[in-house]
Amino acid sequence: MAENATASTQELERAALDSLAAAKSESQLEEWRVAYLGRRGELSTRLRSVGSLPPEDRREAGASLNRLKISLTAAFDQAVSDTSKSERQTVPSDAFDITLPGRRGNLGGLHPSEMMMREILGVFNDMGFQTVEGPIVELEIYNFDMLNIPADHPARDLQDTLWVDRSSKDKILLRTQTSPMQIRTMEKQKPPVRIVSPGLCFRHEATDATHEWQFHQIEGLAVDEGITMSDLKGTLYEFARRIFGTQRKIRFRCDYFPFVEPGVDVSVDWNGRWVEIMGAGMVHPKVLEGVGYDSSKYTGFAFGMGPERIAMLKYDIEDIRHFFSNDLRFLSQF
Ligand code: YSA
């Protein structure tokens, strides 16, 4: 019985190797693999039937089938490697024209908001401001209360808020401004402070050519002994000169923000009309006291600007909604 099994294993080997030698393409090889080495192939079927042989024959039959499996697997791997080599070699030598110019890959590029932010941050970094980043999902206390905007303050209406969780004790929102980073920085750091903080902000806005519901801001804060309004104006004029050149008209006007006193808004001339690019002012003593700074010793200025608005003025983009509409005809111009 054992001799019969050995003879039939040898026959199987011969048949398998003959048919492997006849397989010339990858698809024929795959057919061969399924027929001989597959789960329902010849070898597996025979291995499964070893259990039905007389006990004295099982060991030898099982061992010789396993040896065959190893040698057929090796023969198959070799055949696959030979076939792919010869298939590669059969590509006609004139199939490629190596003198043709290559096709450029699509590398993508920086988003115009990101480009503008990097340029603005670079200007402030040169003036000694350090870049810091903070959370987009923010606590109400940082976005409003510690900026001297308590609940029910009418100034909250100017920044219609998208809430994440209003039921928790520490209410959570999508930040409406980057100003919370003033508080987070001052809580951690003693004066002197000079930071700029970029990032996304969200407001429940009725959108138009200069308002989006999602936009970026860059916050700035400088606190030290002896900082005055003229430092604020000097810094922001220098910023405007570096971004827009010396010929562009800039306007400072009184404005109200609860966390500054006095407050200003800064506008830039755009084809004969003023477009507001930022709010700014001298940090309110209450804000300084709230983070434990001595407001009789330290003063500071702060500002919050919109990089998309600045890019609109710099590159003559007529509608802010282009920035987030993901239209490549717009994005690929930068
Ligand atoms: C004021 C005083 C400070 O000491 C510090 C910061 C500020 C700015 C204040 N946090 C603020 O958010 N003021 S703001 O509502 O007037 O927005 C500032 C700038 O963000 C705007 O000038 C504009 O450039 C941009 N911005 C505001 N809402 C926007 C927007 N950009 C696009 N879409 C909107 N909906």
Bridge-based pairing of strands 130-131 and 193-202 is parallel
Domain 112-331 is classified in which CATH homologous superfamily? Bira Bifunctional Protein; Domain 2 (3.30.930.10)
Q: Are 176 and 140 in contact (CB under 8 A)?
A: no
Residue nearest to atom 20 of ligand 1 (CA): 306
Residue of minimum CA distance from atom 29 in ligand 1 = 211
Encoding tokens for residue 49?
A: 């039937």
With H, G, I as helix, E, B as strand and everything else as coil, classify residue 172. Answer: strand
Angle subtended by helix axes 55-89 and 42-49, to nearest 10 = 170
| DSSP-assigned letter for residue 157 | G
Predicted local confidence at residue 26, as pLDDT:
86
Instruction: Give residue ranges with CB within 6 A of ligand 1.
Output: 177, 179, 203, 205, 211-212, 215, 217, 257, 259-260, 263, 276-281, 302-306, 308-309, 320
pLDDT number for residue 267: 95
| DSSP single-letter state for residue 152 | T
- What is the per-residue pLDDT for 150? 87
Model confidence, pTM? 0.73
| Cis peptide bond upstream of 262, omega within 30 | yes
Half-sphere exposure of 146 (CA within 13 A, CB side): 20
Task: Compute the distance between CA of residue 273 and CA of residue 276 in angstroms, rounded to an integer.
Answer: 10
> For 284, which DSSP code?
P
Angle at 304 between CA 301 and CA 306, to 5 degrees: 155
pLDDT digits (tens, 9 = 90+) for 231-279: 999 999 999 999 999 999 999 999 999 999 999 999 999 889 999 999 9
Q: Where are the alpha helices (DSSP H) in 90-126?
A: 112-126
Contact 304, 218 (CB under 8 A): yes
Substitution candidate for ligand 1 out of 177, 193, 265 with most atoms within 8 A of CB: 177
Report the alpha-carbon distance of residue 230 to residue 285 in Å, rounded.
18
- Residues of CATH 3.30.930.10 domain(s) within the chain? 112-331
Q: How far apart are CA 276 and CA 303, in angstroms?
A: 13
3-state secondary structure of 187: helix
Angle subtended at Cα 316 by Cα 313 and Cα 321, rounded to the nearest 5 degrees: 85
Write down the pLDDT at residue 1. 44
Number of residues assigned to the chain: 334
Name the nearest CA neighbour of 218 among 311, 283, 293: 311
Token output for 285: 């003593």
Provide the pLDDT for residue 89. Answer: 66
Pocket test for ligand 1, best of 309, 324, 325 (most atoms within 8 A of CB): 309
The 3-state secondary structure of 161-222 reads: CCEEECCCCCCEEECCCCCHHHHHHHHHCCCCEEEEEEEEEECCCCCECCECCEEEEEEEEE
The rounded distance, in Å, linking the Cα atoms of 77 and 85 is: 12
> Using CA of residue 64, residue 7, residue 78, residue 22, what is the dihedral sign?
negative
Given a cut of 70, the residues of the chain with pLDDT beneath it are 1-7, 87-92
